[in-house]
């Protein structure tokens, strides 16, 4: 256990609740993970907002429940969009209809869990806001699905979820979260890390791996 630092105590005493402070710290950590994944590894995500929201949502739902909800959201979005795209209608109304259908399906999902369990018996204890955050992934997925191929959309979706899982893992380790909470100097360090990442112009890990494969094929 870490002793609460004077700076952390001072911030909490001056109107910032510990929960808000922890969420803001989580946002800093996950956003840095997204930067590392994008510019050092080469993972593409739905921007930076989606993986941050997913990682924080998973920290409230638990990974098993979070992934189950994510699967329902994506499958419902795919099905509803495949039907709605056959109807001539404005984009926003299509998305609104998709969210309405998604809400109905999620209610049905709750009922199924209540009746059959399916290993997700504590679903009713999940904070409602976490549900909404995961459901928002539908908008990101459909936007890319409209512009790009199904394969490209699925790859970006999986990479977004993967980065979110890494973020979830990091921010839910009490050793890390407690340390950063009581050593807030880490946050300015993350600013420096992101600036350095923003200036990085070298090859990403995925590019190096791709070039190695190409060289091996050329050598054959």
Mean pLDDT of the chain: 88
Rounded average pLDDT over 101-127: 85
Cα-based angle 152, 155, 159 (whole degrees, multiple of 5): 140
> Average pLDDT for residues 66-90, to the nearest whole number?
90
**What SS3 class is residue 183?**
coil
Quick one: pLDDT at residue 2? 62
pLDDT of residue 194: 94
Q: Are 98 and 77 in contact (CB under 8 A)?
A: yes
Cβ-proximal residues to 187 (8 Å cutoff; 6+ apart), any chain: 25, 28, 180
pLDDT band at 151 (very low <50, low <70, confident <90, very high): confident
The pTM of this model reads 0.88
The tokens for 157 are: 């979706």
Q: Does residue 24 register a pLDDT over 90?
A: yes
Tell me the chain's radius of gyration from C-alpha atoms: 20
User: Is the pLDDT score of 123 beyond 80?
Assistant: no
Residue 75 near residue 135, CB atoms below 8 Å: no
| Segment 5-23, tens digit of pLDDT | 889 999 999 989 999 999 9
Q: What is the tens place of the pLDDT at every residue in 178-220? A: 999 999 999 999 999 999 999 988 778 777 777 666 666 555 5
- Taking only the tens place, the pLDDT of each residue in 28-73 is 999 999 999 999 888 889 889 999 999 999 999 999 999 999 999 9
Q: What is the DSSP letter of 18?
A: H
């Amino acid at each position: 256990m870490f002793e609460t630092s004077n700076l952390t105590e001072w911030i909490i005493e001056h109107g910032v609740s510990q929960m808000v402070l922890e969420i803001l710290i989580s946002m800093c950590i996950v956003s840095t993970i997204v930067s590392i994944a994008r510019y050092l590894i080469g993972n593409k995500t739905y921007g930076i907002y989606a993986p941050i929201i997913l990682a924080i949502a998973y920290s409230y739902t638990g990974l098993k429940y979070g992934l189950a909800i994510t699967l329902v959201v994506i499958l419902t979005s795919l099905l509803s969009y495949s039907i709605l795209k056959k109807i001539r209608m404005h984009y926003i109304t299509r998305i609104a209809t998709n969210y309405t259908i998604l809400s109905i399906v999620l209610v049905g999902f709750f009922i199924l869990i209540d009746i059959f369990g399916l290993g997700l018996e504590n679903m009713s204890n999940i904070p409602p806001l976490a549900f909404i955050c995961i459901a928002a992934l539908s908008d990101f997925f459909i936007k890319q699905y409209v512009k790009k191929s199904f394969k490209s959309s699925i790859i970006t979706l999986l990479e977004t979820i993967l980065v979110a899982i890494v973020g979830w893992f990091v921010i839910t380790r009490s050793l890390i979260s407690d340390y950063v909470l009581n050593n807030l100097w880490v946050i300015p360090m993350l600013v420096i890390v992101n600036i350095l990442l923003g200036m990085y112009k070298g090859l990403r890990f995925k590019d190096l791996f791709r070039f190695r494969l190409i060289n091996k094929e050329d050598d054959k």
